[in-house]
Amino acid sequence: MLVFVDNEHVNAYAKPWGEKIMAARVRIKYRLEDLIGDQCLIVRYNQVTPALLQQLEAKAVFISGSSANPDEYDPAEQAGLHRAITSKQWPVFGFCGGFEVLTEAFGAPLAPIGQLAEGEADPAPDFAPGMKKEFGYQPIKISKSHPLLASLGDAPIMRQAHSWEAKAIPAEFENYGETAVSPHQIFIHNTHPIIGTQFHPEYYTDEHPAGRVLIQNFCRMAGLIR
């Protein structure tokens, strides 16, 4: 059993785009099942605890992105998920907002990238208007090698959609990717199969397949596939 943590804020599903978010979660659930060949259960972030993951006999945990900013969450509702992550009992892959969950769980700071300068073009005016951001399919500069990054090349194309960033890398992790906008794009735990990406590898396409390669590399390292 795989667990896909729905990291969307509890209020988001009441908003006009709520149904699209849920459809996206189901799409990623099916993608993970197809890649790994095992069932995948979607669990809301505020329901995850170590005990639940043990009960489900979870083999790995994937954490979704979110349309909410990190400071909108009640820490008490994230406590169980944080305990599960930091116990290091399970392989974990955090996508975008999931990367931000990992950042906070392991004690590093998050903050907005910053405000756009006067006259600076906004690449996505409907997304975090007035803020610096990364949006759309863009290259990630790989800064050093790691088995999880095999076959990605020096600048794989990944989907971006974020206006917050990790201001530092958590202890026990190293950073392996960067962009001109945000310097912390991929962090990997030094001793456990735990990875976070500020981008969205799960939204790979036929034109931009690198995200699929990265997820498969993680699954091999975690012993989920050969």
Q: What is the pLDDT of residues 126-180, one digit of tens each?
A: 899 999 999 999 999 999 999 999 999 999 999 999 999 999 999 999 999 999 9
Q: CA 148, CA 219: separation in Å to the nearest integer?
A: 9
Domain count, the chain: 1
Q: How many other CB atoms are found less than 10 A from the CB of residue 21?
A: 18
Is 147 within a domain? yes
pTM of the complete model: 0.96
Q: What is the DSSP letter of 203?
A: G
Is 186 within a domain? yes
pLDDT of residue 17: 82
pLDDT digits (tens, 9 = 90+) for 39-85: 999 999 999 999 999 999 999 999 999 999 999 999 999 999 999 99
Percent above pLDDT 70 for the chain: 100
Is 202 within a domain? yes
Is 143 within a domain? yes
CATH of the domain at 94: 3.40.50.880
Pairing of strands 2-6, 164-166: unpaired
Is 37 within a domain? yes
Is 226 within a domain? no
Q: How many other CB atoms are found less than 10 A from the CB of residue 193?
A: 20
Long-range contacts of 9-16 (CB under 8 A, 24+ apart): 9/66, 9/67, 9/68, 9/72, 9/73, 10/44, 10/46, 10/77, 11/68, 12/66, 12/67, 12/68, 15/67
Is 69 within a domain? yes
Question: DSSP secondary structure string, 124-157?
Answer: -TTSSTTB--EEEEEE-EE-S--GGGTT--SS-E
Is 58 within a domain? yes
Contact 51, 82 (CB under 8 A): no
Contact 122, 129 (CB under 8 A): yes
- Provide the domain limits for residue 50: 2-221
